[in-house]
Each structure stands twice: as C-alpha cells, then as structure tokens.
Structure 1
C-alpha cells in the first residue's frame, strides 16, 4: 500500500511539473509578460521550462536508485530557479562572480548530461565531449583546424551562461514554438481526432485496391503533420492501421514498413510539419510559410509514391479492398468531425493572411479547438474539463525530450561556433565540394544518417545545420535546398537500419522481424533518399522558379517516381520479370535527371520514355 501511495504521489508530481512546462511555454508564447509590463530576459523563461523538463526526466526515468533521482529533480529545480533569477547578473557581470558562475555552470552541465543520458543515451553526450576536447586543445592542431584554445572554467561558463549556447535559438524554438503545437496534437488525440483521421481515410480509400495500405498512408500523413514525430505517429495510428493491413492481406513486414514510411514522412508534410522545420526557418531567418511552400512538392511526390507502392503491391499479391461493412460513410464521417479541420484552417489563415508567428497561430488554433470541443466531439463522449488538463500535461511530457535535445544541441552549436570548429570543418567540406559537389552531397547524406542512429530528427538537423549546410550554401546551393537536404536525411535515420526507430516500433506492433521491416521500409520509402538530390539540382521542385517550369519539373519528377516505383514492386497490370524491372528503374532515374543534363543527352531521355512505354505495353498485352 505504501509503495502504491508513493507511486501515486510521484505521478502527481510529474504531472504538475509537466503542466508547468506547458504553462511556462504558453505564458511566454502568448506575450503575457508584455501584458503585465514584466521586464524579463527570454533566457529566464527558458531556464524555468528547462528546470521542469529536467525534473520530469529524472522522475520518469528513475534508474536503479529512486532516491537519487528525487535529489537530482530537486537540484534541477534549484538550478533552474537560481539561474533564472540571477541570469541578468551572471551573464553580464560573470567576471565579478566567478565562483558562483562556475558552481552554477558545473551543476547545470552535470544535470543536463545525466538527464540526456537517461532519456536518449550517450550519442549527444559523446559529441559534446568531442567538441569540448577540441575547444580545450584547438591551439595544438595545425592548418584550418588550428584555433585559440578555451580555458576549462571559461568553457563551463560559456556552455551555460552564454545566450548563444544553452538558452539559445534551439531551446527558444523548443519552448516557444513546439510546445503550442504539441498541445494541439494532444487535444486532437484526446477528443477523437486520431479516430476521425482514420475513419476519414477509410471512407476515402477503403473501396480501392489495397485499401488498407492506402488508409494507413493517408491517416499517417494527416496525423503526422500534427504530431511531427515519427515514433509517436507510428504508435498512435499504427495500432489501428497495421492490424487492418495484415487482415487485408499485406505481409506483416510490409504492413509495418508502410506505416513506418508514412509516419516518418509526416515530419515534412505541411502545414505543421515537425519541430525541425521551425528550427530550419529560424536558422535561415525565413518566414515559416516559405518552409511550408518549399516542402510541399517533395512531400506530395513522396506520398504519391507510397500510394503507388500500396496499390501495386496489392495488385501483385491480389489484395482486395477493405470489406464493405468496415467502411464508414464519408458524408457521415465529415458531418461528425468537420470541426477537426478548423484548427488547421486557422493556422493557415493566421500564417498567410495575418502574417502571425507560428507559435501565435498555434495558440489561436488551440484556443479555438478548446472552445469547439465544449460543444462538439467526434467520439461523442461527454465533456470532461479534466480532459483539457490532461492534454496540457501530456503535451508537457512530450516536450521533455525535445527540450533536452535542444538544450544540449544548443551547447554543441554554440561551442562549435565559438571554438572555430565550424570554420575548420567548413573549409575541408568546401574543398571537397569544389572537386565534386555530388561527392560532398553523398558524404553529407551518409553523415546525417549515421549521426541520426539513435538520435531524433531535431538533434541531427541542429548539428548538421551548423556543420554541413553552410559549406553547401557557400558552394552556391540554394540555402533552403541545403537545409532541407540535411533535414531529409536526418529524418531518414528513422527508417534506415541498423537503428531504424520508427520501423522497429512498427515491427513490434506488426509482430514482425525488426530488421526485415526496416529493410522493407527503406524499399518503400526510397523516394526520400533520392528527392533531396533532385531538389538540390532542380530548385523548381521547391517552388523556386516560374510557374511553367515548376509544373514541368513536377510532372517529370512524378513520371520518374512512378516508373521507378513500378520497377521496385515488379508489377504493372501483371508481374514484371527481372529484366523489365531493371529497365524501368534505369529509365525512371534518367527521367529524374535535371532538365539541363537531360537536354544534353536528349536521346537517352526520350529513349527511356519510349522504353518505359514499351514495357507497360507488353504488360498490358499480357493482361489481354
């Protein structure tokens, strides 16, 4: 009984701290300090949110010594509150308070590293350690990597007290922008939003061949755009769609892989996308609307390819539509859940018509959805005020990992710039790119995927955006294309073995072999590995150019993606033999070549189209 009571108390404390994370974020994002004429440093608000996030991390992952975790949680609150109060003094007059600054910095670093270790493992800690070693001994290097070394005490103080480090742009985005969108996602979950997206997708695609797979893709695209997290998307929608796909005739590995690929793409699906997209806009000092526009065509191509795969795989395996009794009436679904689209419409109106900041647009959507939910609920359940409180608490818990990632990533990014490492690495990458831009892009893609093994997309993007993207821009690439390139391949670590987190979660739900599911996810999600190279060479794919050229490039890319997908699946009307599949894949790659290059080898371009038509004609003839 005593253990049960302690567990209940612990849960209540965690919920309180999680709510305080959300409250702090909303308090700041809404501009409340200005209402009360409260003059406060942004860093002070960030440090309060960080303190609660650290406390939640220690209490939810106590390890073997629960009492130690309680002590660490208390120290986290003391650290955050003390530094928040003393930040103006310590940041501006650090030399007059050397002992206090050193003690606070050392305590903060220890707490952050331990919380990150418990939450995400050692990856980011090792990277920070390597960057710190470079900063301490950079004067011993030669060539472009040689720089002025930083003393240990100045290093510690910089990591915690400098506005370009811990409480920098990364943590600002995590607290001020991401949390409001997490609140919206949790409110949608709590009020039946996930069920609505599932039913809506079922009503649209259920009567088509391979309907179960198409339902999973549609549902994951809808919900993934809100959640912005591949893993949570798989866990939420996959619990419904994966069993449906298995019952419909898809192999268990294929069912898990389709869900993983569709959920991963949700991080780049407008209008909301994932947390990394907000960081991308901040890094480029660009309007978030520009990021949405740039990501639109690549995400459309990706999901069209997934749809084609589900359809062709169903044709190859003779998977029929979903049974009629399982398909809801579309008009009835819309009649019951039309209001779910209102928050999305308000976000778009706020961003496009009123030019509001993303966090303000999200808060408008949250407020509207709370009011709507007082009267309308898709699941038809009775209203409970506690539901809103639980949604705020869930949003706070979901924000903990992102806040911790951005805290340690902010320290790494700040130190990379301060130590001169960004200049040294940038010099080597630029020299590599001058000899072969394609080689530099391939190296960058591989590094993104390798670094992403075990790291969330946000962490990978933050690190590579400061190291790999600047050299690409210096070599003449469009800044948006360079940063989206890094973001895409950071996202792909969720699918790529050996550490394909989203695929492994989907495999668990499908009761399938994890590695086979991950490899199948790579096969299904292949466009995501190729599209970044295409939009780097063809800016029109990012809506950068004249309308006729944008349409030509889009249609050409769509044809190429369709041809390659057919070759990968090995089906078009009827099954294709190995030679036909190889011809299709080669033809599709040629069709995807940039127009400038395709013009130089026009005979090969048109030959590939004719070859593709020939293969499709032969398959159609075999059907007849």
Structure 2
C-alpha cells in the first residue's frame, strides 16, 4: 500500500539493511509474497494453517527489519534478532506441520505444544512492540492476566479464572486466539490488497492521481488544497494507511499549498485530514473494513456500499472548510499554464485506473474480495504494458513483491496481538459486561451511549493502530449499541470511523505529525488544525446511526434524498461555524446559530430538521444584514 516515500518513512523507525543480510531479507520478502499469492489462489490449505504460516513469515521479517530499541544497529540485525527471526518462523511452521496430529489428540496438548505456545505468545507480543509500539502489547498482556486472575476482580467483572494450560491452548492451538478472524483477514484479503497497492505504486498510479487531481481542481479557489483533498481521496482506493497517503500526495500538494498562500500548518493539516479519509473511501478501504465484513458475516460488497455516502460526506466537509479558508485569505487557483492538461493526463496514464475498475466490477458482480484482488494484480501487470513509461520491468515486479510483504508486517503483527484481546473477550464474556455497563451509564439514552463509545474509541485510538482500535471497540462497545436498537452495520461503522479518525486526534495524531514534517510546521498546530478540518468526521457517525439509510440500509428514494439534503446542509453549517467565515468573519452570536443548525440536522425527524432550518435561517439573516451594513458604512466613509 505504500510508495517509495513510505518505504523511506518506515526505514526511519525500521532498519535499512545492507550487505548479504539485506539480500536475504529481500529474498524472504519476495518469497513471502509469492507464497501468499499461491496460498490465496490455488491452495486448499485450511485457515488456521494459512494464518500460522502468515504469522511465521511476518515475525521472521519483523525481527530482521525492526530493531529492538533505538540503540540497536540500524543496518543489520543482531545475533539475537536472527535467532528470534528463526523462532518466529518456527512457531508458524509448527502449527502447519503438526496441527493434524494435535487434532488427532483431540486438542489435548503435550509439553512441546505448550513450549511452542509460550514462544508464540512472547514472540508475537515482542513483534507487535517493535512494529506498532508498546501500548497494544501491554493492553493484550493485561487481558491475558484478566483471563487468568479474573477471580480477584469485583462485581460483574469477576470470573473464576482460567488455568495457564487452558489459556495457552486457546491462544495458540485454536482459531480463537492468535490465529482468529483478525489474522485470517490479514493473511488473505489485507495482504493481497497491500500487494495490489504495491504493484499500483510501481506503475506510477499515485503520480497519475496527483496529476489528474491537479488538472481537474488546480484552477479552483485555493486549488492546491482542493487537489490535496481530491488526490488523497483517490489514493484511498489503493491505500489503507493515512500516513502512506500523506507521504504520497503530501510531498507534492503541501509545497503547492504553501506556494499559493496557505500557512505551512494549515497546508499540513489539510493533507492530514484528507489523507485520513482515504481509509474510509471505497472501493478498497482500510484493513478494518475487511475485518468488519468477517465480524458481521456479510459480503464485503455490502460494507463497500455502506461506506460510499459517509466517505463522500467526509470529503465534502473538508472541501467546504478549505474553500472557506481560501475565501477568507483571498486565495486563487493556480494559473492554467502551470497545470497539466486533463486530456493529456488521461491519454498518457489513464489506463492505470483499469485495475481498480476491474476490482470494482468483480466486487459488484458478487465475487469475493480475494478473487477480485487476484484479478486486480493480473490487470495491473497487463495494463502497465500499454505505455512504455508505466511498463513493469522484472526489477519493478520483484520490488513490488518485496514492498508488499514488508508493508504487511505491521498490519499482521497488530492483528495477531489483538487476537489475544478478542480471544479473552470470548473466553470471559467481558464484552457483554461492558456492553451492559455502557447501557446502564447512558441510562438507556442512545445519544449518551454514542458519546461514551465515541470517547472510548478516541482514547483507544490515541495509542493503537486504526485496525486494532476498531477490533477492540467492535468487540466490546459495539454490542452495547446493537442492544439499544442500532443496526449492527451502523454500530460497527461507528467504531470503524472513530478508530480511523484517531489518526488526526491529538495528542497522538500520527498522520498530522507526518504532514507537519513535510510542511515544516509546528506539529501541535498541524494536529489541532487537522482536528478542526476533520471535525465533521466526528459528527458523521452520529448521522448514519440515526439515519441508517446513509449506509444504504432500507433504501427509500424520498427518505434518502431528504437525508442527503439535511446531511449536506448540516455539514455546510458545521464548516461555516468551524471556519468562522461565510461572506466575512462571523461574530460569536452568528457562529452559534450555525453550530446549533449543524447539530440539529444530524438527527433525522421533522422537529430536529425544523430546528436546524430555523437556526440556519437566523444565522444567515443576521450575518447577511450585518455584512451589508458594514459594507455600506465603508462605502459612505470612502
């Protein structure tokens, strides 16, 4: 999913190997990708064996490519790293080779099974610490301890506790721990789409998106910012990483935004907010969307359809904010002479969009995402041959295979580590307890329960990758919303959105900090400005919970049109209130009515819609009259 820019970004935290060990790591990565293609196309391997081999290869690469600490060498792994790498591969191979005999023993483990189970848990936690940071492994350890010592917890949280033997068996020898649904999705859909993104990157698709967006939107008011929004949204079709989007499109759009007059921190914030939304953009969304389909037991196509309107709402909200800022600053678009011609862009590289269309066609026709991804890979290689400048050479092909495997490491280790949490939740029933407590705390009021789940998601997202945040929230908090009458898909999308938007929520706003580095701006200012631009994203989940029709549920043309009108109007009102500008800067007594109108239009219903329209009217009338009076006075003075 990442381009060369992302490869560089990863090497800042990972290793840039040299010499023979670099060649060995490359060969392992390329073989891993080839193996996954075979495993997900021609193989009839059962899921737990596939998941085990997937984890084995990912751990093997993780210990070679990610140092244990800042003091560790950056150009080579230590002897301990090499040993851990071999052991990481071995814990996956053990399940592949001996799972049948374990089943023949009716899942009654022997000493060797327990030894490999302990090794697998330790290595998975350490691999996760190196690749995604310490918070997720620490959280998983706490859940494992909760499974063991549940009897010391008071009240409803307490349980009799499980033996270490039972925990080890559940976590390693079954498909309800490390090798559960989260790793299953990582080993299949996610890996194949990561590989697909790597191949698109090597053919120059990211550059095509940038040029297309520049040709299409470059002349608009504040053009480069609109280009950033558009290009990041398009990149969302092939990238499941907001930081990947920033590095890919931001290196091009941020300098352009600064060139036309945007401040560095605002330019960085626009790119951060727009890139975060890429994970929400169908047809290919972040890893969480595939996991959501598995959790809900529904086709991915339904998740993709459900994501269309919320994603468009999100990007429309950023467009509004960016346009108002450009109007406030009196900015204009780029001169036509500095822009590429749309026809020329399409003629030279328009064929690069064909693989995405191929995937979309297969998904719409009801084929599995795995099937679609395989044909997408084939289409990418074939269509790249149409033009000399996009043609995929053998070197580019092998580079894409290598980059695909290396990019998948952090997703795979996060999915494996979070498997401990999902396993403990199913063992202990703590998810139902927390769901009951959320309902109790909210006093059975849906709006309050939504706020509680939102806050918990945001807190989790401050230290966890978006995928892990979604899985935990969906496992623990989403059931509470379902019990309160929220449709399951709406409850899970609610968790998905807040897990994703954690990337722009301070203090741990990693996407904003990446953008700040490219913009040469203060990271804190970029983070808080990015949060302001993405603020509509914090409101949109409330919209589709109260109006599931926005997720394409229970479609009725009249109700859908009304929901779209009120939603768009609410987003515009929120943009005006957030940006504090319409025809000129707003007074506080003008800003408040627009904000109330936005919040009122979130919830469908004649009463709330009427309140929203009334306050919108008040805000418009007061602002327009004051603006006219002020301009009249200025004219008289002149």
Bucket of the pairwise TM-score, normalised by the shorter protein: over 0.9
**CA deviation after TM superposition for structure 1 residue 612, in Å:** 3.5
Aligned equivalent of 1:107: 119
What does residue 401 of structure 2 align with? 392
Q: Which residue of 2 aligns with 1:455?
A: 464
Q: Report the more deviating stretch, 235-244 or 77-86.
A: 77-86
8 Å CA contact retained: 2:596, 2:612 = no
Cα shift at 1:589: 2.3
Contact map agreement 1:147 1:420 (CA 8 A) in 2: no
Residue 12 of structure 2 corresponds to none
Distance change in 2, residues 1:342/1:163 (3 Å): same
* Alpha-carbon distance, 1:512 to partner: 0.6
Aligned-partner SS, 1:175: helix
Aligned residue among 584, 588, 591 for 1:581: 591
Partner in structure 1 of residue 380 of structure 2: 369
- Report if the CA contact (8 A) 1:560-1:592 is conserved: yes
Pick which of 247-256 and 88-97 moved more: 88-97
Aligned to 1:559: 569
1:330 and 1:136 mapped to 2: Cα distance?
A: 62
Counterpart of 2:502? 493
Residues 78-87 or 173-182, more deviating: 78-87
The answer for the alignment partner of 2:217 in structure 1 is: 205
**Cα contact 2:355–2:383 (8 A) shared by 1:** no
* TM norm structure 2: 0.92
Unmatched tracts of structure 2, length 5 or more = 1-14, 633-638
CA contact (8 A) 1:144 1:423 kept: no
Kept in 2, the 8 Å contact 1:41–1:88? The answer is: no
Alpha-carbon distance in structure 2 between the residues aligned to 1:484 and 1:6 = 40
Residue 89 of structure 1 corresponds to 101
In the alignment, what sits opposite 2:618? Answer: 611
Residues 237-248 of structure 1: matches in 2 within 5 Å? 237-248=249-260
Q: Does 1:21 align with 2:16?
A: no
Correspondent of 1:469 among 478, 481, 487: 478
Task: Say which SS state the counterpart of residue 574 (structure 1) adopts.
Answer: coil
Residue 48 of structure 1: aligned partner:
53
CA distance in 1 between partners of 2:255 and 2:134 (Å): 34
Change (3 A) 1:155 1:382: closer
Alignment counterpart, residue 240 of structure 2, candidates 228, 233, 249: 228
CA–CA separation in structure 2 for the residues paired with 1:146 and 1:381: 60
Alpha-carbon distance, 1:294 to partner: 1.4
**Could you report, residue by residue, the CA deviation over 1:136-155 in whole angstroms, capped at 9, with x for unpaired residues?**
12234444323231101221
Q: Aligned partners of 1:314 and 1:54: how far apart in 2?
A: 47
Residue 424 of structure 1, aligned match among 430, 433, 438:
433
Is 1:122 the equivalent of 2:129? no
Q: Offset of 1:323 from its aligned partner?
A: 2.9
Deviation at 1:436, TM superposition (A): 2.6
**1:445 and 1:291 mapped to 2: Cα distance?**
20
1:12 aligns with 2:23: yes
Deviates more, 1:21-30 or 1:113-122: 21-30
Matches within 5 A, 1:108-257: 108-257=120-269
Decide which of 513, 519, 531 is 2:522's aligned counterpart.
513
Cα pair distance change 1:92/1:218, threshold 3 Å: farther
Q: 2:63 aligns with which of 55, 58, 78?
A: 58
| Residue 580 of structure 2 is aligned to residue 570 of structure 1 | yes
Compute the displacement of 1:104 (Å): 0.7
Choose which of 278, 283, 286 in structure 2 pairs with 1:266: 278
Q: Mark the CA change 1:586 to 1:605 in structure 2 (over 3 Å): closer, same or farther.
A: closer
Q: Distance in 2 between matches of 1:519 and 1:132?
A: 36
Distance apart, 1:420 and its partner CA: 2.3
Could you tell me whether the CA contact under 8 Å between 2:117 and 2:168 is conserved in 1?
yes
Distance 1:317 1:417, change over 3 A: same
Specify the SS of the correspondent of 1:134.
helix
User: Which segment is superposed worse, 477-486 or 19-28?
Assistant: 19-28
Distance 1:572 1:427, change over 3 A: closer
Shift of 1:623: 6.6
Per-residue deviation, 1:398? 0.6
SS in 2 for 1:593: coil
Which residue in the other structure is 2:5 paired with? none
Partner residue, 1:37: none
**Of 439, 453, 469, which residue of structure 2 is paired with 1:444?**
453
In 1: Cα distance, 2:539 partner to 2:631 partner: 32
Q: How far is 1:434 from its partner?
A: 4.3
SS at match of 2:485: coil
Report the Cα distance in structure 2 between the residues aligned to 1:187 and 1:432, rounded to whole angstroms.
Answer: 49
Q: Unpaired segments of 5 or more residues in structure 1?
A: 35-39
Residue-by-residue CA offset, 1:522-550 (whole Å, 9 max, x unaligned): 11111111111121112222222311101
Summarize deviations over 1:325-370 as a string: whole Å, max 9, x none: 32000111111122122112111211112x1001111111110110
**How far does residue 217 in structure 1 lie from its aligned partner after superposition?**
0.4
Structure-2 change in CA distance of 1:96 and 1:438 (3 Å): closer
Shift of 1:79: 2.2
Post-superposition CA distance 1:433-453 (Å, at most 9, x none)? 443322221111111111111
Structure 1 contact 573–623 (Cα < 8 Å) conserved: no
1:409 aligns with 2:421: no
CA contact (8 A) 1:184 1:362 kept: yes
SS in 2 for 1:33: coil
Following TM superposition, by how much is the alpha carbon of 1:555 offset from its aligned partner in structure 2, in angstroms? 0.8
Specify whether residues 100 and 429 from structure 1 end up closer, same or farther in structure 2 by C-alpha distance, changes over 3 A only: same
User: What's the counterpart of residue 72 of structure 1?
Assistant: 84
Alpha-carbon spacing, 1:8–1:597, altered in 2? closer, same or farther (3 Å): farther
Q: After alignment, is 343-352 or 394-403 more displaced?
A: 343-352
Q: 2 CA distance for matches of 1:247 and 1:391?
A: 33
Which deviates more, 424-433 or 224-233? 424-433
Q: Give runs of aligned pairs for residues 285-364 of structure 1, distance below 5 A.
A: 285-353=297-365, 355-364=366-375
Q: Does the Cα contact within 8 Å between 2:276 and 2:500 map onto a contact in 1?
A: yes
Distance 1:587 1:33 in 2: 56
d(CA) in 2 for partners of 1:619, 1:7: 67
